């Protein structure tokens, strides 16, 4: 998540309150305090509130929350006379553009850094790694309007930021660090997005890199902002958040005409919400006046609309307000989450244990009675443990992770026995005998069901021990079972049996094959058993992926 | 003072001799030496005998050493195999040449010039040879000059011998003089002895309660499973019905049905385990599509853009159990519904002591007419309280599928306020497409966090790759945690 640095002196100036109040109260509007430092505090906000990704945005919210300045912040916007055109050839490449002019900025090094970090946080939260939105900030006075957003040939060249020589767009993708980071966003297009001025000079190659020409420095007084992307709403959100943050810092905002549309208007959206619905959702006795007042503290414009509704003006930077309930949450925050009186409803229900956990519980009780110790191995494992070491053929229903994170965990387990032998291997240095069991989910062909397996290692472990344990388990689970000689290669020939229920093989037991013992580096005989719990009477139909009908 | 029969027998044996070593006593008592030492130690604690322990060290030839017994050390054997001088090439034919020549030179017995081995004339018998000769005769040698050299060469090895001398004390003599009853003591009672009443007359062996028994290890459930069971018990007590479901879910149920936008970072392969498998969308999926695109028939604006059915069909290892909750609600639309689930969930994370790619998550939902945010907080307080967290507080939170959302924090001694899970009321964008008409309170938490607090773990991997010793030693109940 994005870390936002709040310098105390700046925050004190913007909010008119002291640093301790800010530190104490900012968590109650949703901040997670990361670090409290000598001259600043670092906080994190949730990804639904990118408007809080700047000190100015946080100060604006805090002023309302603390009752210093309530209601809708109003931003005046003047026309700049500057126009921007969008090349229809960008339709399938990167069609959306939003822009603004920001005048009279006063940038020291710290302010530039803070603007850059807002930009980066927005790239992450709104821009989805620059794919959906990429933001460019330019020194307006270095270039000449009108501006054009075009689909350019790939061999056009300009001097990108942090370089001294001209590079072609293709070169930038291979040789510029930012080019390498973001090349995947434009690869495959025959033309690349480019922003040029009236003299055909390059401002930016979005979403990759700006030109050195419009670099923002402490001398910059006027800014041209461009936000390009694939989503009309998202590019506008980014413009609104940056413009209002800079306006809070004292800049003036001017509109740009993009293909005939003037933007940004920084105008609020309107919603009329029901007081009764809010009161009943939150469990608070709210009047129209209460709700109006609480919303004012969250910087909404709010006024009674009749005696049961409130007309809400949603600030342009609040991209998280999708639904009336989003507004109700802000009522709860303004009321103070800590002020809610927790209560239990009169809801009366009768609990029911799931039949699968009831069966697993019975299995545990039997295995514990037999002297076995429970283990809870990972469900992610690999084919060496499941198959190669066990001398078994891979199950055709084995699920393989498309992008595993280690060689140890590449598939979902289809059986538990190999995992228990791996446990014995890890516990070789512990006193024998060791009797271990596990009960839990396995997955085959997307269907999840439960199995139990058990292993016993000691110098006298043998077929009889395995058979006795398997017999106890089956009898205790009310299984009508028979046993036939098994052909499971994980076990020794002549010392292995299959458990048959209703004509179906549901389990196996016996002495583990010495070659398997060697593969797991074990030094004593192992008596083992495994049982598919779907054989147990009352086991519900294995819950697979919810939509039935197969692949 | 109640003597064991064996102690009495020891005193009787010692009576005539007064003092003897344990081996002699073992012969007299017709038992093993180790047994005598054990009886003597018992009697010694009562002041009836004195036990003296002697440790002696001696050196016996090793396997290599034994090969030289009676023949002399290799260098002596090689030296005596030729006259004043011999060409190196010829001497190398001697079977001990390899060891012998080196030592001859080291001891200054020979010099080698131009490929000829020449005796120096000085080849006196060294202390090592003298010691070896003594060892040869007796089969062992006491510590002394030269022995250490032999030990270093690996020709002899140290052997420690422990002997015990047991002597009767005056109080032992007194007791013996009074006469001892040597009737055999009974260990395990037989069936006959119990039935016949013979047990009334039998001298029963007494056992020493100070001596710890042999350690036995019972079969038992896993400490983590016991914690999961405790949580299930709490929720069942609170009237919640248990849910269970598959590990593999379509993106539709895992994300889309929960109004998680299709371009949400959690839906990228960096964070979620995707599978090659695909599952068709359920009937009525269009409601979810509409909700994403424009908010369906609610007051929502939706996420905008175009919703992709192909993306929703991709299977994933479930990243939470919330997909099960919404399916449960879709199937149980009549209020009230109270349900919970404890299940394994998956995140694509590199494994280290505090991060795992799979872990248990607990989730609870309440759907009823008129339930509200205050009730959500009430359930959370109740649940955490029953789990032993007395102090609970709430902060605003954010989850894509709830609104309002809160983050509960519990107070843990020594750690302060610890964030523990998340909670909220399901968004209407989540409930409306399934025709769920009443608010749904929902909360969830990663149980591994609780496990770390309760079981005092530093490394989460211990839960899933457990040390048998840890499982054996963790008490089934209580244990200070």
pLDDT for B1 = 57
Task: Sort out which chain B residues have CB atoms less than 8 A from A231's CB and list them.
Answer: 304-305
Q: Which residue does chain B place closest to A332, by CA atoms?
A: B404
Q: Which residue does chain A place closest to B337, by CA atoms?
A: A349
CA separation for the pair A83, A104 (Å, rounded): 20
- The whole-angstrom distance between B162's CA and the closest CA on chain A is 29
> How many other CB atoms are there within 10 angstroms of residue B246's CB atom?
23
Calculate the dihedral angle through the C-alpha atoms of B145, B151, B157, B163, rounding to the nearest 10 degrees: 30
> Exposed (0-12), middle (13-18) or buried (19+): which is B472, by Cβ within 10 Å?
middle
What is the Cα A25 distance to its own chain's centre?
Answer: 26
Q: Which residue does chain A place closest to B425, by CA atoms?
A: A281
pLDDT above 90 as % of chain B: 47
Average pLDDT of span B106-129: 85
pLDDT for A545 = 45
Contacts of B249 (CB under 8 A, 6+ apart): A545, A546, B315, B316, B317, B318, B323
Q: Encode pLDDT of A457-513 as tens digits.
A: 999 999 999 999 999 999 999 999 999 999 999 999 999 999 999 999 999 999 999
- The whole-angstrom distance between B465's CA and the closest CA on chain A is 6
Q: Encode pLDDT of B58-94 as tens digits.
A: 888 888 888 888 888 888 888 888 888 888 888 888 8
What is the Cα B58 distance to its own chain's centre?
Answer: 41
pLDDT for A417 = 98
Q: Which residue has the higher pLDDT, A151 or B118?
A: A151
Residues of chain A with pLDDT under 70: 1, 542-551
CA separation for the pair B20, B164 (Å, rounded): 8
Tell how strand B416-419 and strand B402-412 pair up. antiparallel
* Of A95, A122, A123, A99, the residue nearest A189 (C-alpha): A95
Q: Does B396 lie at the interface with A, CB-CB under 8 angstroms?
A: yes
pLDDT for A543 = 58
CA separation for the pair A334, A314 (Å, rounded): 15
Task: Sort out which chain A residues have CB atoms less than 8 A from B242's CB and list them.
Answer: 351-354, 357
Q: Phi and psi at residue A313, in whole multiples of 5°?
A: -100, 115
Task: Sort out which chain A residues have CB atoms less than 8 A from B243's CB and list them.
Answer: 354
Label residues B260-276 b or e (16+ Cβ within 10 Å = b): bbbbeeebeeeebbbbe
Q: Does B137 lie at the interface with A, CB-CB under 8 angstroms?
A: no
CA separation for the pair B80, B171 (Å, rounded): 65
CA separation for the pair B107, B99 (Å, rounded): 13
Interface test with B, best of A126, A312, A348, A402 (most B CBs within 10 A): A402
Q: In what order do the strands lie in the sheet with B274-278?
A: B248-250, B314-317, B274-278
Q: Does B277 lie at the interface with A, CB-CB under 8 angstroms?
A: yes
Range with the lowest mean pLDDT among A444-453, B127-136, B318-327, B383-392?
B127-136
Q: Answer yes or no: are the C-beta atoms of A319 and A51 closer than 8 Å.
A: yes
pLDDT for B177 = 86
CA separation for the pair B91, A7 (Å, rounded): 90
pLDDT for A548 = 36
- Three-state secondary structure call for residue A160: strand
The verdict on pTM exceeding 0.90 is: no
Q: Encode pLDDT of B248-284 as tens digits.
A: 999 999 999 999 999 888 888 888 999 999 999 999 9
Q: Does A126 lie at the interface with B, CB-CB under 8 angstroms?
A: no
Contact call for B274 and A402, based on CB within 8 A: yes
Q: What is the number of alpha carbons within 13 Å of residue B129 lying toward its C-beta?
A: 14
Confidence of residue B319 (pLDDT cuts 50, 70, 90): very high
Contact call for B375 and A378, based on CB within 8 A: no
Max mean pLDDT among A153-162, B121-130, B136-145 falls in A153-162
Q: Does A367 lie at the interface with B, CB-CB under 8 angstroms?
A: yes
Q: Does B291 lie at the interface with A, CB-CB under 8 angstroms?
A: no
Query: Which residue among B218, B238, B248 places its CB closest to the CB of A545?
Result: B248
For every residue of chain B, which 3-state class applies, written as one string? CCCCHHHHHHHHHHHHHCEEEHHHHHHHHCCCHHHHHHHHHHHHHCCCEEEEEEEEEEEEECHHHHHHCCCCCHHHHHHCCCCCEEEHHHHCCCCCHHHHHHHHHHCCCEEEECCEEEECCCCCCCHHHHHHHHHHHHCCEECCCCHHHHHHCCCEEEEEEEEEEEEECHHHHHHHHHCCCCCCCECCCCHHHHHHCHHHCCCECCCCCCCCCCCCCCCECCHHHHHHHHHHHHHHHCCCEECCCCCEEEHHHHCHHHCCCCCCHHHCCCCCCEEEEECCCCCCHHHHHHHHHHCCCCCCCCCCCCCCHHHHHEEEECCCCHHHHHHHHHHCCCCCEEEEEEEEEECCCCCECCECCEEEEEEEEEECCCCCHHHHHHHHHHHHHHCCCCCEEEEECCECCEEEEEEEEEEECCCEEEECCEEEEECHHHHHHHCCCCCEEEEEEEHHHHHHHHHCCCCCHHHHCCCHHHHHHCCCCCCCC
> How many other CB atoms are there within 10 angstroms of residue B362's CB atom?
23
Q: Does A280 lie at the interface with B, CB-CB under 8 angstroms?
A: yes
* Of A387, A369, A385, the residue nearest A377 (C-alpha): A385
| Residue B7 tokens, joined | 């102690």
- The whole-angstrom distance between B335's CA and the closest CA on chain A is 9
Residue pairs between chains A and B whose CB atoms are closer than 8 Å: 283
Task: Sort out which chain B residues have CB atoms less than 8 A from A366's CB and list them.
Answer: none
Query: Which residue among A340, A404, A545 places its CB closest to the CB of B246?
Result: A545
Q: Encode pLDDT of B181-212 as tens digits.
A: 777 778 889 999 999 999 998 888 888 888 89
Q: Which residue has the higher pLDDT, B351 or A475?
A: A475
């Amino acid at each position: 998540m994005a870390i936002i640095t709040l310098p105390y002196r700046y925050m004190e100036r913007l909010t008119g309150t002291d640093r301790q109040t800010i530190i104490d109260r900012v968590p109650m509007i949703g901040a997670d305090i990361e670090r409290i430092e000598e001259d600043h505090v670092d906080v994190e906000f949730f990804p639904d509130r990118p408007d809080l990704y700047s000190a100015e945005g946080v100060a604006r919210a805090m002023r309302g929350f603390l009752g210093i300045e309530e209601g809708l912040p109003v931003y005046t916007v003047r026309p700049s006379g500057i126009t921007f055109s969008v090349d229809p050839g960008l339709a399938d490449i990167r069609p959306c553009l939003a822009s603004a002019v920001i005048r009279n900025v006063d940038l020291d090094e710290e302010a530039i850094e803070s603007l850059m970090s807002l930009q980066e946080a927005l790239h992450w939260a709104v821009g989805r790694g620059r794919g959906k939105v990429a933001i460019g900030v330019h020194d307006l006075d270095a270039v000449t309007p009108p501006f054009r957003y075009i689909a350019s040939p790939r061999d056009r060249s300009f001097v990108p930021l942090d370089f001294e020589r001209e590079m072609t767009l293709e070169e930038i993708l291979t040789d510029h660090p930012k080019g390498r980071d973001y090349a995947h966003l434009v690869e495959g297009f025959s033309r690349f997005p480019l922003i040029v001025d009236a003299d055909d000079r390059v401002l930016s190659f979005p979403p990759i890199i700006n030109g050195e020409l419009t670099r923002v420095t402490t001398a910059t007084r006027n800014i041209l902002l461009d936000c390009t992307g694939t989503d009309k709403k998202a590019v506008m959100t980014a413009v609104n958040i940056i413009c209002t943050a800079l306006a809070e810092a004292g800049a003036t905002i001017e509109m740009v005409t993009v293909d005939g549309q003037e933007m940004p208007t920084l105008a609020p959206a309107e919603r009329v919400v029901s007081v009764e619905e809010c009161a009943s959702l939150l469990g608070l006795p709210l009047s129209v006046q209460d709700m109006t007042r609480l919303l004012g503290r969250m910087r909404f414009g709010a006024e009674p609309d009749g005696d049961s509704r409130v007309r809400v003006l949603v600030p342009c930077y609040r991209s998280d307000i999708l639904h009336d309930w989003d507004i109700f949450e802000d009522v709860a925050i303004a009321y103070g989450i800590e002020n809610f009186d927790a209560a239990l409803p009169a809801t009366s229900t009768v609990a029911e244990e799931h039949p699968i956990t009831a069966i697993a519980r019975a299995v545990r009780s039997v295995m514990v009675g037999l002297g076995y110790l429970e283990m809870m191995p990972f469900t992610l494992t690999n084919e060496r443990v499941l198959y190669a070491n066990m001398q078994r053929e891979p199950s055709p229903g084995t699920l393989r992770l498309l992008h595993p994170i280690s060689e140890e965990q590449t598939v979902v387990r289809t059986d538990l026995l190999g995992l228990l032998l791996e446990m014995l291997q890890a516990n070789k240095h512990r006193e024998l005998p060791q009797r271990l069991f596990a009960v839990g989910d396995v997955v085959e062909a997307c269907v999840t069901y439960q199995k139990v397996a058990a292993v016993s290692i000691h110098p006298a472990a043998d077929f009889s021990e395995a058979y006795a344990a398997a017999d106890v388990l089956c009898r205790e689970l009310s299984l009508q079972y028979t046993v036939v000689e098994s052909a499971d290669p994980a076990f020794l020939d002549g010392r292995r049996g299959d458990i048959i229920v209703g004509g179906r093989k549901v389990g196996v037991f016996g002495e583990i094959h010495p070659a398997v013992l060697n593969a797991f580096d074990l030094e004593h005989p192992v008596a083992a058993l495994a049982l598919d719990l779907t054989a147990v009477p009352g086991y519900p139909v294995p819950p697979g992926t919810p939509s039935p009908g197969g692949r | 003072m109640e003597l064991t029969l064996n102690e009495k027998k020891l005193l009787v044996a010692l009576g005539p001799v007064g003092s003897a070593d344990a081996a002699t006593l073992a012969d007299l008592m017709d038992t093993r030496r180790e047994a005598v030492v054990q009886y003597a130690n018992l009697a010694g604690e009562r002041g009836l005998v004195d036990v003296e322990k002697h440790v002696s060290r001696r050196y016996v030839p090793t396997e290599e050493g034994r090969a030289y017994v009676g023949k002399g050390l290799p260098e002596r054997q090689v030296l005596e195999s030729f006259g004043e001088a011999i060409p190196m090439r010829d001497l190398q034919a001697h079977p001990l040449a390899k060891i012998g020549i080196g030592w001859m030179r080291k001891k200054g017995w020979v010099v080698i010039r131009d490929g000829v081995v020449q005796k120096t004339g000085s080849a006196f018998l060294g202390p090592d040879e003298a010691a070896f000769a003594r060892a040869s005769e007796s089969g062992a040698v006491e510590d002394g000059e030269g022995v250490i050299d032999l030990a270093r060469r690996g020709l002899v090895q140290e052997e420690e011998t422990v002997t015990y001398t047991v002597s009767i004390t005056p109080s032992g003599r007194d007791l013996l003089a009074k006469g001892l009853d040597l009737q055999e003591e009974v260990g395990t009672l037989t069936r006959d002895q119990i039935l016949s009443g013979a047990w009334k007359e039998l001298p029963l062996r007494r056992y020493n309660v100070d001596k710890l028994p042999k350690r036995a290890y019972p079969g038992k459930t896993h400490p983590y499973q016991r914690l999961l069971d405790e949580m299930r018990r709490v929720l069942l007590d609170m009237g919640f019905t248990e849910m269970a479901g598959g590990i593999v879910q379509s993106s539709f149920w895992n994300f889309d049905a929960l109004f998680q936008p299709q371009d949400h970072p959690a839906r990228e392969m960096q964070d979620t385990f995707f599978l090659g498998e695909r599952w068709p969308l359920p009937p009525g999926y269009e409601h979810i599509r509409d909700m994403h695109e424009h908010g369906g028939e609610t007051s929502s604006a939706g996420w905008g853009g175009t919703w992709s059915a192909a993306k929703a069909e991709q299977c994933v290892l479930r990243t939470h159990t919330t997909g099960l909750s919404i399916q449960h609600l879709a199937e149980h639309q009549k209020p009230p519904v109270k349900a919970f689930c404890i299940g394994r969930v998956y995140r694509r994370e590199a494994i280290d002591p505090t991060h795992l790619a799979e872990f248990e998550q607990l989730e609870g939902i309440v759907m009823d007419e008129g339930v509200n945010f205050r009730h959500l907080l009430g359930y959370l307080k109740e649940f955490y309280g029953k789990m032993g967290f007395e102090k609970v507080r709430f902060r605003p939170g954010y989850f894509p599928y709830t609104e309002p959302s809160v983050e509960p924090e519990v107070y843990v001694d020594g750690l302060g306020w610890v964030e523990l899970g998340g909670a909220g009321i399901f968004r209407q964008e989540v409930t409306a497409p399934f025709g769920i008409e009443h608010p749904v309170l929902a909360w969830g938490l990663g149980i591994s966090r609780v496990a770390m607090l309760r079981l005092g773990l530093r490394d989460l991997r211990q839960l899933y790759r457990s040390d048998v010793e840890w499982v054996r030693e963790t008490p089934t109940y209580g244990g200070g945690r």
